[in-house]
Structure 1
Amino acid sequence: MIAAIILGHEWPGRELWIAKWRQLPRSLLRPAFNALVGREDIHDRLGEIKAPALVIHGTADAAIDIELAQRLSSELANCQPLVTIEGAGHTCNLSHPNLVNLAMQRYLVELALGMPRGAERRGGRRRSDVSRRLGERRDPVRQGAGRRVLFPLDRRLTERRRMERRESWPVHNHGMARS
């Protein structure tokens, strides 16, 4: 019954997955099942999740109604519009991998175009990897305060890198005679 809900009836790989699950001891399956059944409902807090998100849902999903998927994609703070996979069940990544991969690829390309390479979000602004490579660290004593300090070793490494970069710069004489 659970296999029918999760895998559907028409996916060709269904029997292989069922056989694989049957080989596992029940002691391993029970915690996974309990986690699914007994999980906390966080729908009232979806707006607090600021991470970029994409919801992909099969139209033949017997485990989760499409209305719930629509609610999830509309209430997440930074979510793309819901992507539906026609005829796919709950495991559309298994039954329709090409369509799911295409949706993921488009999403990731769009996400990459929106954020400069090597940048990360921190408190509403972006900081590049360059500042972290140059020795910026959080003070471990006041980590919660977010105060940044340069430790002595980081300063020495930063200076060494600057010197190495200067030494590697090509020198062009541009027509000047050598003596």
Structure 2
Amino acid sequence: MWIKRHAGAEGYDPALNCLLNRDAIEDQLDKINIPTLVLHGANDRLFLAEDAKKWSSKLSKLWKFTIVEGGVHHLSLTEPGSEALAQLLPQFINETL
């Protein structure tokens, strides 16, 4: 069903355009006024760690920015990202609530 629905330009192009033509939020990051934990995979091939660190610095209540060695783009769904999250999340909750 998924292949039938999304195969070819008629299915692929709308999904791609949704990602490419969405509004940027970088200039609105300072409006996030809650404690924030940011984890970034060192092996993320979509976003450089330097860019993620720059964007994170705009968060007014950044609790911690951590680069996870060996981590990829879908960090929380893969090792070692899920392991790093499991380790930091209780500390984040305890210190920010």
**TM superposition score normalised by structure 2:** 0.75
Aligned residues: 90
2:36–2:64 CA contact under 8 A, matched in 1: no
Higher relative CO (Cα under 8 Å, sequence separation at least 6) belongs to 2
Match of 1:76 among 45, 49, 59: 59
Match of 1:42 among 25, 34, 42: 25
Paired with 1:109 and 1:28, the residues of 2 have a C-alpha distance of 45
Paired with 1:79 and 1:28, the residues of 2 have a C-alpha distance of 38
Runs of 4+ in 1 over 6 A off after TM superposition: none
Q: Which has the larger radius of gyration?
A: 1
Paired with 1:47 and 1:105, the residues of 2 have a C-alpha distance of 25
- Is residue 72 of structure 2 the alignment partner of residue 89 of structure 1? yes
Q: 1:107 to 1:31 in 2, by over 3 A?
A: farther
- RMSD over aligned CA atoms reads 2.1
Paired with 2:14 and 2:74, the residues of 1 have a C-alpha distance of 20
Q: 1:33 to 1:101 in 2, by over 3 A?
A: farther
Match of 1:109 in 2: 94
Alignment of 1:1-179 (within 5 A): 24=2, 25-26=5-6, 31-96=14-79, 97-112=82-97
Q: 1:55 to 1:28 in 2, by over 3 A?
A: farther
Corresponding letter in the other structure for 1:71: K
1:83–1:103 CA contact under 8 A, matched in 2: no
Which consecutive unaligned segments of at least 5 residues does structure 2 have?
Answer: none
Matched residues, percent identical? 28
Q: 1:104 to 1:32 in 2, by over 3 A?
A: farther
